[in-house]
């Protein structure tokens, strides 16, 4: 018989990257692979944890996280400790900044930028830096290393694609009513110019998004012209502490 877990605890576990199956009562752990990369040692540690605490399976997701399935509730602490010894942790679920997805532009002959490095920096600044910041809904970021856009970056809340400089798209989303994001009119010549725009997009979402509202819906309400004006100004960064202080 599966353990009886209060809804509030289930929500907290989801925010930590543990999703319970309604059919079995067992948990799936979302383990973050930074920029979609796992070392051989990290992969071995995950395989060992899957055998010891789950059902022995490791599943790769479309968003380049690793999932360990079939973990009983009572095994969650031991599983967390085991992967932590390999420098790994769970996450990538709940209402916040999700793990950053990128193509393999760093090793692809068509790649125009080091996508792994850019995705890792975005991960450090926003997936980790904004960990614990509750947003109206999930917030996805993706990086494409050339105009071929194999990562489908424009299907994310914020997409970054390198061509001659960096193009940023806003409000892409997957699903039954999915649509590509809208490109900003501004083009950013240098990688360093991308980070403040991404941060301001997250702050805008936190500041003006309604509970449960996806980012693209907020953009529809505001209009792209107003949204882009906010993302190119310093207003949101000036109010960062006040915005993030809200529950």
pLDDT per position as a tens digit, 32-88: 999 999 999 999 999 999 999 999 999 999 888 999 999 999 999 999 999 999 999
- Please say whether the beta carbons of 122 and 143 come within 8 A: yes
pLDDT per position as a tens digit, 105-140: 989 999 999 999 999 999 999 999 999 899 999 999
Instruction: Walk me through the domains of the chain, giving residue ranges and CATH numbers.
Output: 7-84 (3.30.70.3340), 101-244 (3.30.413.10)
- Please say whether the beta carbons of 215 and 171 come within 8 A: yes
pLDDT per position as a tens digit, 185-236: 999 999 999 999 999 999 999 999 999 999 999 999 999 999 999 999 999 9
Phi-psi region of 40 (alpha: psi -120 to 50; beta: other; left: phi over 0): alpha
- Please say whether the beta carbons of 116 and 72 come within 8 A: no
Strand 141-144 and strand 158-163: pairing? parallel
pLDDT at 1 > cutoff 70 = no
pLDDT at 14 > cutoff 80 = yes
- For every residue of 97-154, DSSP letters joined together read BPPPEE-STTTSTT--S-HHHHHHHHIIIIIITTTTPPPSS-B-EEEESSTT-TT-GG
Which residue matches tokens 């792994």? 116
């Amino acid at each position: 018989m599966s353990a009886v877990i209060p809804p509030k605890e289930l929500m907290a576990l989801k925010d930590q990257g543990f999703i319970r199956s309604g059919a079995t009562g067992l948990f799936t752990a979302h383990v973050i692979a930074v920029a979609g990369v796992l070392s051989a040692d990290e992969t071995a540690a995950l395989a060992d944890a899957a055998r010891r605490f789950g059902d022995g399976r490791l599943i790769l997701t479309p968003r380049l996280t690793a999932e360990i399935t079939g973990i009983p509730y009572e095994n969650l602490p031991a599983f967390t400790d085991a992967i932590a010894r390999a420098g790994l942790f769970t996450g990538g679920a709940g209402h916040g900044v999700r793990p950053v997805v990128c193509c393999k532009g760093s090793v692809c002959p068509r790649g125009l930028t080091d996508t792994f490095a850019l995705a890792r920096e975005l991960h450090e600044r926003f997936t980790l830096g904004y960990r614990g910041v509750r947003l109206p809904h999930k917030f996805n970021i993706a990086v494409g290393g050339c105009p071929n856009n194999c990562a489908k970056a424009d299907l994310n809340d914020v997409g970054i694609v390198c061509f001659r400089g960096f193009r940023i798209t806003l409000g892409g989303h997957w699903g039954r009513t999915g649509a590509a994001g809208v490109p900003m009119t501004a083009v950013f010549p240098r990688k360093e110019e991308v980070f403040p725009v991404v941060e301001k997009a997250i702050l805008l979402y936190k500041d003006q998004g309604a509970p449960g509202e996806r980012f693209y819906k907020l953009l529809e309400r505001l209009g792209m012209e107003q949204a882009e004006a906010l993302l190119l100004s310093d207003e949101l960064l000036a109010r960062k502490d006040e915005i993030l202080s809200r529950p």
